[in-house]
Chain A
Amino acid sequence: DGGITQSPKYLFRKEGQNVTLSCEQNLNHDAMYWYRQDPGQGLRLIYYSQIVNDFQKGDIAEGYSVSREKKESFPLTVTSAQKNPTAFYLCASSPGGYTEAFFGQGTRLTVV
């Protein structure tokens, strides 16, 4: 089945550590996105990529990094520079052209 897969579903990190969230899609979509969701805040765009080997910062990119070496994969690294990383992270992909974006099931990151 085609879809977008995020792993792990739950992730715990100690303060000061970097952690990488995985996002893989087999929908052959060019565009991929990372959003952060906090209670009562909606979804906020972290990074997006419209093509392999290219990506742009979204509204809240500070403390995060991404790579897009393959069309199918768009991992997000939460670095120690991110001051408040505890949140629900959603990855999405889209073929573009004003069609729907498909979201993964999310990764809930907790800093302990």
Chain B
Amino acid sequence: QQPVQSPQAVILREGEDAVINCSSSKALYSVHWYRQKHGEAPVFLMILLKGGEQKGHDKISASFNEKKQQSSLYLTASQLSYSGTYFCGTEERPGGGADGLTFGKGTHLIIQP
């Protein structure tokens, strides 16, 4: 079942923070986050596993709430380069992602100077 992402779109000024949510009605084993710029390939950001810790690098981090089956992606002090569409991909059983992911419809993030 396709996870639900919110918001669908967000416009920020450079330096502001953003939170993107990914929710599922089913129990999840892992959540994968990707960013895609228009016409380009999606680029991997991070993976969160059930029972795992919050992950992050630089000013982008994410958490996974197993009780709510929700993952949140946090972008702190956003930069122009953060613009793009963010997708979460979910996995309902442990397979190492080998069975492919179920992606949400994406969140469009626009960063203005």
Contact = CB atoms under 8 A, between A and B. Distances in A.
Do A and B bind?
yes
Interface of A: 30-31, 33, 35, 40-45, 48, 50, 56, 58-59, 90, 94, 96-106
A43 B44 contact: no
Interface string B13-30: 000000000000000001
Nearest to A105: B41
B64 interface: no
A43 B96 contact: no
Interface in B31-72: 32, 39-44, 47, 49
A31 B98 contact: yes
Contacts of B99: 48, 50, 56
Contacts of A56: 99
A43 B33 CA distance: 12
Interface of B: 2, 30, 32, 39-44, 47, 49, 87, 89, 96-106
B44 A42 contact: no
Give the 8 A-B residue pairs with the shortest CB-CB distance, closest first: A100-B44, A103-B41, A43-B103, A45-B100, A42-B103, A42-B105, A48-B100, A96-B96
Nearest to B99: A48
A23 to B, nearest CB: 12
A45 B42 contact: no
A58 B32 CA distance: 18
A92 to B, nearest CB: 8
